[in-house]
Amino acid sequence: MKRIFLIAGIVLAVLLIGFFAYYYFVYRPAVPENVVDIPLPPGQEVTLTPEEVQQGKTLEEKHEELRRELGITAQDDVVTVAKVLDRPVLAPTLSADGLALYFFDPKSGQFRTTDTVGANESSLVGGTFENVSRIKWAPTKDAVAISFTEGSVTKNVILTLEDQTLVELDPRIQYPVFSPDGLRIVYLFSDPESGQFKLSTALRDGTNAQALKSYRAGELQLHWFAEEGIAYGGVSSGFKAASVFSMDTRGERNRTLLGDAYAADMVFSPIGNRVVFSEAPRKPYITSLLLMDATGQNVVQTSLDTLARKCAWSSTGFTLLCGVPAFPDEQYTVPEDYEDEKWVTRDDLYRVNATTGEATQIVKHSQYTEGYDISDPFLSPEQDTLYFTRRNDGRLYAYYLP
C-alpha cells in the first residue's frame, strides 16, 4: 500500500512540475487578431499614483487611458499619431535645441511652451496679444515677428524671448521676415502717401534700413532663404498667375524662380540650397509637387500632387515629409477654397528624396479612423517625429516615425 501511495505521489509531482513548466515557459495567451499594441510617444513615462494602486488599477489600464486621451491610433504597429495639444494653437514650432515646443495660444493671447510631448506647459514670455493675424519665428527661435490689429490699424512688433523686449516697427514696414541668423529682417516698405513701395532690409529692430528694389503695393510672399538669398513675388492664387523671383541682399543677381504659375507655393530647405514648390500651370485645380535648386535650375518632378506648404524638410535637406491629399472630382480653386476650408483633406504621408524626387508612402490615411489635414508641418532634429496642425480643428498632432 505504501508503495502505491509513493508511486502516486511521484506521478502527481511530475504532473505538477510539467504543468508549471508549460505555463511559464511555453504557454502564451491568445491575442485577438485585431488588437494592436500601440507604443506611447517617446519620453512619455507612465506610473501609477498611490490612489490608483489602492483602487486596483493596473499599469496596462493606465496605458490605455493615456492612449485614448492622446487620441493615438496606429498603422501596422510602426507609425503612431498622437494629439500633442488638445486646443487650437497658432504657429507651433520647436525651440532651437529641439527640446521644447513653442506656440501661440489665441484663447489666452499668450506665447506658451511645453516639452516635446505637450506636457509641463508654462508661459514662454509675459504679456498678451489680441487680434493676431500673422506670426513669423526667427530661424534661431530667439525672436518672433507678430502682426496684430488695434482698431483699424495693423501693427508689427518684434518680440525677443531672452530679455522679453518688444519693439514696435515703423507702421510702413509690412510682412517682416527674419534672416537665417535672426538678426535682420526683409520687408515691404509701404508709403502710399509718397507712392513709395520698396523691398528693404534692416536690423530686426527696424534700424539701419536699406532699400533693395521698388515693388508694387499689395500682398506678397517673402523668403530670406540663405545668407545672401531673398525670394519675393505674388501670393499663391488659383485665380491669378504669379511669378516668384530671387535676388541677393544688395538687390542684385536677379533670377526668375517661378514664372506665371497658378497656385505657386514654395518652402526652402533649412540651408537654403533647395526649394520644394507646387504649381498648377494650366488649371488651378490640381497642384503638382516639384523640386529645384534655389537658383531655379535642376527642376525635378515628383509623382505627387499636393501643396508645398504640406511638406517639412529634414534638418539635412536630403529628404522631406509631405502630406498628400486625394484631389476630389469636384473642381476646387486651389489654394483659395482650401484656405477657406471649403475643401478639407485626409492626407497620406510620403517621404521624398530631395535629389531624385522619388516618393515613398509611409502612411495611408484610410488606415486611420480619423483624417488628418496636415498644416504647418515641422520635423524633430532626429527626424523621427513630424509635428503638424490638423487644419480642421487647429490642434497640434505628431506622427512618431520608425
Percent of the chain surpassing pLDDT 90? 63
Decide: residue 141, CB within 10 A, 0-12 exposed, 13-18 middle, 19+ buried. middle
Percent of the residues in the chain that have a pLDDT greater than 70, as a whole number: 81
Report the half-sphere exposure of 199 (CA within 13 A, side-chain side). 25
Over residues 206-262, the pLDDT tens digits come to 999 999 999 987 789 999 999 999 999 999 998 888 899 999 999 999 999 998 899
39 pLDDT higher than 50? no
**pLDDT band at 30, cuts 50/70/90?**
very low
58 against 246, higher pLDDT:
246
Q: What is the mean pLDDT of the chain?
A: 85
Q: Residue 309: is its pLDDT beyond 70?
A: yes
C-alpha angle with apex 55: 54 to 59, nearest 5 degrees?
90
Q: What is the pLDDT of residues 272-302, one digit of tens each?
A: 999 999 998 666 578 999 999 999 999 999 9
Give the strand pairing for 132-137 and 122-123. unpaired
| Residue 52 in this model has a pLDDT that exceeds 80 | no
Categorize the per-residue pLDDT at 41 as very low, low, confident or very high, splitting at 50, 70 and 90. very low
pLDDT at position 47 is 65
pTM: 0.79
CA 176 to chain centre: 21
Q: How far apart are CA 201 and CA 188, in angstroms?
A: 9
121-149 pLDDT per residue, tens: 999 998 899 999 999 999 999 999 999 99
Q: Which of 368, 391, 372 is nearest to 76 (CA)?
A: 368
What integer is the mean pLDDT of 174-178?
96
Residue 214 · residue 224 · CB < 8 Å: no
pLDDT for the residue 18? 59
2 three-class SS: helix
Cα distance between residue 57 and residue 45, in whole Å = 16
> What are the phi and psi torsion angles at 366 (to 5°)?
-70, -10
Phi-psi region of 317 (alpha: psi -120 to 50; beta: other; left: phi over 0): left
**The predicted structure's pLDDT at residue 278:** 94
pLDDT level of residue 11 (50, 70, 90 thresholds): low
Apex CA 358: angle with CA 355 and CA 363, to 5°?
A: 125
| Cα separation, 333 vs 262, whole angstroms | 10
Task: Look at residues 317, 309, 311 and name the one whose alpha carbon lies nearest to residue 338.
Answer: 309
**Single-letter residue type at 393:** D
In whole angstroms, give the CA distance from residue 228 to residue 222.
14
Q: Which residue has the higher pLDDT, 43 or 128?
A: 128
Pairwise CA distance, residues 393 & 97, whole Å: 28
For residue 33, pLDDT over 70 is answered with: no
For residue 363, the Cα-to-chain-centroid distance in whole angstroms is 16
- DSSP class per residue in 266-309: EEE-TTSSEEEEEEESS-TT--EEEEEETTS-S-EEEEEES-GG
Q: What pLDDT is attached to residue 218?
A: 76
Cis peptide leading into residue 335 (ω within 30°): yes
| Three-state secondary structure of 43-71 | CCCCCCCHHHHHHCCCHHHHHHHHHHHHC
More confident site: 53 or 76: 53
Task: Tell me what the mean pLDDT of segment 321-332 comes to.
Answer: 87
CB-CB neighbours of 388 under 10 Å:
27
Distance from C-alpha of 219 to C-alpha of 198, rounded to nearest angstrom: 13
Q: What letter represents residue 13's amino acid?
A: A
